[in-house]
Structure 1
């Protein structure tokens, strides 16, 4: 494993954040295109989507903290 500095880690976290955001958008699009009535599966998909958004947001904030800390 290569030695990574803080900014490399922050960049990787940003990449993962963007990927999670893209996955979330795809999930929302697919959920909205479902031709089924409201059911438990749809609720679970919305829960998963919200959870992914939260993880993405947390990673983004953590990445920003790393960058701010490195700038000190």
Structure 2
């Protein structure tokens, strides 16, 4: 694979990372402003938010690994 192709892939991964971060931030704002009482559903939503952040972090790290190679 060409070096430029690898940089293009890494850049796309970085863009996806930013989008996931933005989604997670919007979810968190919405959850904090919601009227949902403490329940299992609310816990699930917070879990999903944390999961999105973790995926974003893994994509970011993978993107950095691609660039290093």
- Would you call these one fold, judging by a TM-score over 0.5? yes
Shift, 1:35, TM fit: 1.2
Residue 15 of structure 1: aligned partner: 15
Q: Which 5+ residue runs of structure 2 have no aligned equivalent?
A: none
Question: Within 1, Cα distance between the matches of 2:46 and 2:36?
Answer: 14
The TM-score normalised by the length of structure 1 is: 0.88
Q: Find out whether 1:36 has 2:36 as its counterpart.
A: yes
Shift, 1:36, TM fit: 2.5
Q: Which 5+ residue runs of structure 1 have no aligned equivalent?
A: none
Number of aligned pairs? 66
Question: By percentage of residues, which structure has more helix?
Answer: 2
- Structure 1 consecutive aligned stretches of length 4 or more whose deviation exceeds 6 Å: none
Q: What is the alpha-carbon root mean square deviation over aligned residues?
A: 1.0
